[in-house]
Amino acid sequence: MIERYTLPEMGRVWSDAHKYELWCQVETLVVEAHAEAGTIPADVVEPVRKAAPPTPERVDEIEAVTQHDVIAFLSAWADNTEPREAAAFVHFGMTSSDLLDTALAVQLVEATDILLGKADALVAALRDHALEHRATLRVGRTHGIHGEPDVWGHRVADFAFAMARSRDRLRRAREAVGVMAISGAVGTYSNIDPAVERHVARELGLKAADVSTQVVIRDGISEWVGALAIMATVCEAIALEVRHGQRTEVRELWEPFGKGQKGSSAMPHKKNPILSERICGLARVVRGQIVPVMEGIPLWHERDISHSSVERVALPDASITTDYLLHLTTRLVSGLVVDGERMRANLDSTGGLIYTSTVLLELVEAGMSRDDQAYPLVQKAAMETWRTGVPFRETLRAQAAQAGQTLDEARLDEVCRPERFVERLGPVFDRLTALS
């Protein structure tokens, strides 16, 4: 991922320097396990443990010749080992995938923990914002058209629960990617004792794969990328709502707009929803990693490396982008400006048409047949309001008079009171209050 969208903590997880630190850690743990078992001399452990990780530049220099990253790493690290002879026992009985998959599992867990912390923060921001606006009336829309009265906090509560589920989904995926293997060529432990694998897994806080060929099969990593894609798409759903709400014709919501910020190079009046649009765009990047990563599940026989080149791009990009999206969406929600007066004006702008569903049911309860009397009456009145702009209650009264029907005006006053929709949502906000 380009530097523009990379936050420092997550960028560090996927840096070459950190990768080689992890490779050193894995190889050192294997050396320790071998020495404890008496497989290799005990006096090689300390020199290996003290050897500084090689620099990315030095590994790149050697790889330009070897065309093999693990061999280049081992050669560069051996140059830092004193005495150098101790390095002969590094990678003893291992194959490259043992090192790569085990270190990758650590990176994935580290990345996940960063994401979970930010997901917690976003859930809290959404919850608090929704509770703050539990009585802020707005119109609910379906197909972009006014439907019935709603409250802004209700809409945000939906996002809060969706993000909480996304976070919990990622927690489960953490277990799926925290899996390692040190089982040697073809995964048969032919040159390495399974006890070595158990020791490394325990020290790194990982789970040894139930079975590995020469690689850990990629179903768990695919699950993880899928969890990130869903989380990113929930961020997009939030941003899309803000984009709609900031349209000139709507003007209910505004992104935070800082002092000195410019909206357009040509039109000074513009305040564009740039954060929301960036969120919507970058969510596509995360979703775009699903298929390439899933295609790493089927490999030729015990292994090939067709998955490797994909994962070097897809896994850092998916997690770095999701990290940035969570950061940006939390900033968006925390600084969001809600225009409650404009929401109420929009709610009232159709002259009461948003109560047609409620009125229809009320007329049915009063004794009218739904299909033959109530629905045609309400629909004719609604179409007249659309055509003329005359308030719905007036067109309804006129249509009822033509049909010889009597309306209970007091009862209609009650069912067309928008605050009653707030009262019905009490249980939603009770559940939201308990969300953490």
Residues forming the active site: 143, 264
DSSP classification of residue 406:
-
Distance CA 246, CA 243 (A): 5
Residue 186 and residue 395 in contact, taking contact as beta carbons nearer than 8 Å? no
Residue 359 and residue 415 in contact, taking contact as beta carbons nearer than 8 Å? yes
For the chain, the first-to-last Cα distance in angstroms comes to 31
Residue 56 and residue 16 in contact, taking contact as beta carbons nearer than 8 Å? yes
DSSP classification of residue 254:
E
Rounded (10°) angle between helices 96-132 and 426-433: 130
Distance CA 58, CA 52 (A): 12
What residues contact 427, with CB distance under 8 A and at least 6 apart? none
Residue 325 and residue 235 in contact, taking contact as beta carbons nearer than 8 Å? yes
Distance CA 359, CA 409 (A): 11
**Helical spans, DSSP H, in 252-305:** 274-287, 290-294
The radius of gyration of the chain from alpha carbons, rounded to an integer in Å, stands at: 30
Distance CA 16, CA 407 (A): 75
